[in-house]
Structure 1
Amino acid sequence: MRPSARLRRLVATALAGAVVGALTTAPAQADPPQADPQPSDPAYTARDVQNIADAYGRIQGPGGQLRNTAYLPALVQAATARSVQQMLTQVASPTRPAVTAGNFFPGWNVGNPLRDGWSGTRGLSRKVAFTNQHGALLRGTVWRPEPGARDPYTGRVLRGPFPGVVLTEGSVQGSEGMYEWLAQDLAERGYVVLTYDVQGQGTSETLPHDPGDVFPTCCSGVPFQQLSNFVVGTRNALDFFTSTPSRPYANPSAARGEATPFNPYWRLFDRSPDRRTATPGRTTRIAIIGHSLGAQAVSQVQATDRRVAAVVALDKLRGGDGTRPAVPALAVQSEYGFTVSPWFTSGGSSITPQPSPDGPDPMRERATGFDAWRAAGVDSMLVVPRASTHLDYTDIPLVLPASRYGQDLTSVYTQLWLDRYLKHRDNTAALLGGRFRYLEPVGDGRWSPVTLRRDALLSFYYCSAYSLDARGKAAARRTGDVTGVGC
């Protein structure tokens, strides 16, 4: 069907605006317009052009990668050091080849270089390696608070043992370093966190091993781009995370000294039965967090693994397709996918956009999982950061679109969600609040506070919503919009 003249004009206007927007810088956390223009109004397209420009804010926004003079020198230093370290690790393990982008492209796995110096000053970390059920060696890091440290936001002394978190990365060659930001933010506030690379990504081995065989075989877990790699990775990572010297992890097909026998921070993990859990039958204070295909994986695992007490899905929570909502779920979801497109291509999903001449559907992001959790009566919250892309949750240097404050907002909501369901803090007012404080790394070992204003940072296209049992009783369930469009 030939597009209408009006639609052709809108395409031309938006594309021209996108080019201009990519070369300009949006004001930090600009307030959305007072009036809500309609798709027929030129102001609607003008607002959309600004939104497209803001989707590149991590690179060119205030304090972004190109605006912070400390970023490029730190990137060169960190990328070089990490690349050499990874090369030496691979040379030392010739029978465990990791044929991945994260292992061979300098800077791919570096994360945010402004965070260098975190370990040893704001928290501690240890490198680990364990095999999955197919015998492939998975590499990761365990993060913890510093001994005697204080919460950087409240000043409270952090006293263990602490709740646990297992974080599963995204697909398309996501790597562990891209998610260190969230692990560090949680660890310095009183959590023990495991990040790792699934089979075939980052620095983890590409091929599996048959039991007892020194050399890799084929083809369980190959290719890497399949949901089962992320489900298997999440389950095996949970097994490793909960291991102890008396109950070590099995490490299938690993030779002596090749893998870490148990979680080195096992003493710090709170293993006490959680009698106050919001989900009957859940045995430990562990949350699982996943991004992209990892989000789909944790959506599945939460339904069947009795150790899991809460879940955070970063673009996107999955439900209503046979996945049973079982534990409280926070869904942080994006307006855009890997690319940024105008409002009249917002149909379908952010990952596979389709024409939408009538404008975005406010309910689009609810449908993937939040509505299923709400219908099941399980606590849930949906947050859609403004101008956010599928890459907001990954630290990638100087390329690919991501909003300036989406990652900050995601960290704040994740901290609040886990405080509520793993530490059992009554923080409804904070969850539904309009202003948050966040500490950003700015380089040279410094973290600087920023104020995040919710209404300016949430999507004006897509619904952000919640369904909470505010008093701990089903009869007291509260539902509603977080802000912005009607839900």
Structure 2
Amino acid sequence: MTMRLRRRTAVAALSALLLLAAPAATAQALSGPAPSQAAPAATTELPRPTGPYAVGTEVLHLTDHSRADPWVPEAGDRELMVSVHYPARVGSGSARAPYMSTEEARLMLVGRGLDGIVPASVVSATSTHARTGAVAARGRFPLVLLSPGFGTPRATLTSLAEDLASRGYVVASVDHAYESTGTAFPGGRVLTCAACDVADAAPDEEAERAVLRAVSTGRAADLSFVLDRLTGPRPAWADSRMIDRRRVAAVGHSIGGSAAASTMLADPRVDAGINMDGTFFEPLPPSGIGGRPFLMLGTDTGHHPGSLDTSWAEGWQNLDGWKRWLTVKGSGHFTFTDLPGLAEQLGLPVDPEAPLSGTRSMQITRGYVAAFLDQHLRGRHQHLLDGPAPGNPEVVFQHP
């Protein structure tokens, strides 16, 4: 497996956790033993959502009986865990939702040999702002399907999901079975990343890319299935009536961003898409994506997909609707997740190749994702997307 593709694939996703231990953007840091560190802070908290709504959440276990799992066929039908964040009535709900289970956190840390540096209990106990059992707000709201990076739990996109829900979106964050370091399922099962093992065992780069393309297209089928189960005649979620099925977006980080594009190619119900720093493993065809809007949001260093391969440049040429290609100065591949913010609170070293603070990382990600969705799912023009903004000097408009 090449170092270039490691930054985008299964093993690479786990290297994000080096943000929780030490500066690590070099090949030596990616492959060598984790350095010892002082004990981290005892607690971490996600930033408060910025919208007017309170946030509720519910976890769904969905099974697609029409498909066998592609990575472990003997496991039976394809299973997904989905966290639904939604606009809720202020003051309703019970306890704050957990960030992730301790076992999920432990496996995420073990993936890079960091379990002795950052306690799993600190990560799993990260304080969120969504509450279980919250009463859904009145009205109908757009739906955002959210897919994480390869080998990365859906929980690492919780800050974005909570913020969007507070702004008036229903957000379905998906853990795809056998594509994360660890995903807790009902009955005490915790499924690990069998797909990562398949990618890692590929004999050459071409074979590896074929595996990753299968991940992207397989996730497209997963997201379409989630859309079916949330908006179909027998919905899996009791509050599905609040979803406006005419306004749907697919958003993802890393290979989840590729999956967002794959979902748009396969499913005309998806109206808009965002790829956050992910190689397009399923190339966008010259025929485009039906004129629908698409945002490419990535890093401005040598780590971003457009400089590692041709997929972003080719994808840009083939996008046939409203489009933006934005890069963020000082960012890294995991800037668009919760991880930099958690590392900042833990007082851990800053990656010198991605010095953007965790606070700014989350502000920029939340701001530009929400602006895109407001413009294209709500029809509210956003000046933030017109060009460089004095308040966001880190954001560069490519190919204006």
TM-score, normalization: structure 1?
A: 0.49
d(CA) in 1 for partners of 2:152 and 2:325?
23
The yes-or-no answer on 1:167 pairing with 2:129 is: no
Q: Identity percentage over the alignment?
A: 21
Larger relative helix fraction:
2
Structure-2 residue corresponding to 1:301? 263
Question: Are residues 1:387 and 2:325 paired?
Answer: no
Q: Hey, what does 1:369 align to over in structure 2?
A: 315
1:188-247 residue CA offsets vs partner (Å, 9 max, x unmatched): 0010000021121154479xxxxxxxxx9xx99973773323432343233234436973
Equivalent position of 1:410 in the other structure:
365
Q: Which runs of 5+ in 2 are unaligned?
A: 1-18, 20-24, 26-39, 69-76, 92-136, 186-190, 200-210
Q: Deviations over 1:24-74 (max 9, x none)?
A: xxxxxxxxxxxxxxxxxxxxxxxxxxxx9xxxxxxxxxxxxxxxxxx9232
Q: Contact conserved, 1:303 with 1:323, CA < 8 A, in 2? A: no
SS at match of 2:313: coil
Counterpart of 1:420 (choices 358, 370, 375) is 375
Residue 89 (structure 2) pairs with residue 147 (structure 1): yes
- CA deviation map 1:126-160 (0-9, x unaligned): 111112432143212000011269xxxxxxxx752
Write the mapping of 1:73-472 to structure 2, written as runs, cut at 5 A. 73-75=42-44, 113-115=45-47, 122-132=54-64, 133-134=67-68, 135-147=77-89, 160-171=139-150, 173-200=151-178, 201-204=180-183, 223=198, 226-243=212-229, 247-248=233-234, 262-271=236-245, 284-316=246-278, 318=280, 319-320=283-284, 324-326=288-290, 327-336=292-301, 349-351=306-308, 367-373=313-319, 376=320, 378-396=321-339, 397-398=342-343, 401=351, 402=354, 403-404=356-357, 405-427=360-382, 429-432=383-386, 434-435=388-389, 453-454=391-392, 456-459=393-396, 464-465=398-399
What root-mean-square deviation, in Å, do the aligned CA atoms of Structure 1 and Structure 2 show? 3.9
SS at match of 2:84: strand
- DSSP 3-state at the match of 2:62: strand
Is 1:335–1:387's contact at 8 Å kept on the other side of the alignment?
yes
Q: Distance in 2 between matches of 1:408 and 1:306?
A: 31
Tell me the number of residue pairs that the alignment of Structure 1 and Structure 2 aligns.
275
Distance 2:49 2:264 in 1: 34
Question: Which amino acid is the alignment partner of residue 143 of structure 1?
Answer: H
- Deviation by residue 1:358-386 (Cα, 9 ceiling, x = unmatched): xxxxxx8961422322xx3x110111010
Tell me how far apart the structure 2 counterparts of residues 244 and 365 of structure 1 sit (CA, whole Å).
32
Tell whether the 8 Å contact from 1:138 to 1:205 is kept in structure 2 after alignment: no
Preserved contact between residue 145 and residue 188 of structure 1 (Cα < 8 Å): yes
Unmatched tracts of structure 1, length 5 or more? 1-21, 23-51, 53-70, 76-112, 150-157, 207-215, 250-261, 272-283, 339-345, 353-363, 436-451, 466-480, 482-487
Q: How does 1:10-89 map to 2 (within 5 A)?
A: 72-75=41-44
1:426 and 1:220 map into 2 onto residues whose CA distance is: 40
Distance 1:237 1:424 in 2: 24
8 Å CA contact retained: 2:147, 2:174: yes
Q: Distance in 1 between matches of 2:371 and 2:148?
A: 21
Can you list the C-alpha shifts for 1:317-339, whole angstroms capped at 9, x where unaligned?
7455567333200110112366x
Query: Residues 296 and 410 from structure 1, CA distance in 2 versus in 1: closer, same or farther, beyond 3 angstroms?
Result: same
Contact 1:169 1:179 in 2 (8 A): yes
In structure 2, the CA distance between the partners of 1:316 and 1:244, relative to structure 1 (3 Å rule), is closer
Q: In the alignment, residue 263 of structure 1 is paired with which amino acid?
A: W
Q: Which amino acid aligns with 2:333?
A: H
- Residue 180 of structure 1 deviates from its aligned partner by 0.7
| CA gap 1:176/1:116 in 2 versus in 1, 3 angstroms | farther
| Counterpart code for 1:161 | R
Change (3 A) 1:349 1:379: closer
Select the structure with the greater relative contact order (CA < 8 A; seq sep ≥ 6): 2
Q: 1: distance between equivalents of 2:287 and 2:183? A: 28
In 2 relative to 1, CA 410–416 (structure 1 residues): closer, same or farther, beyond 3 Å?
same
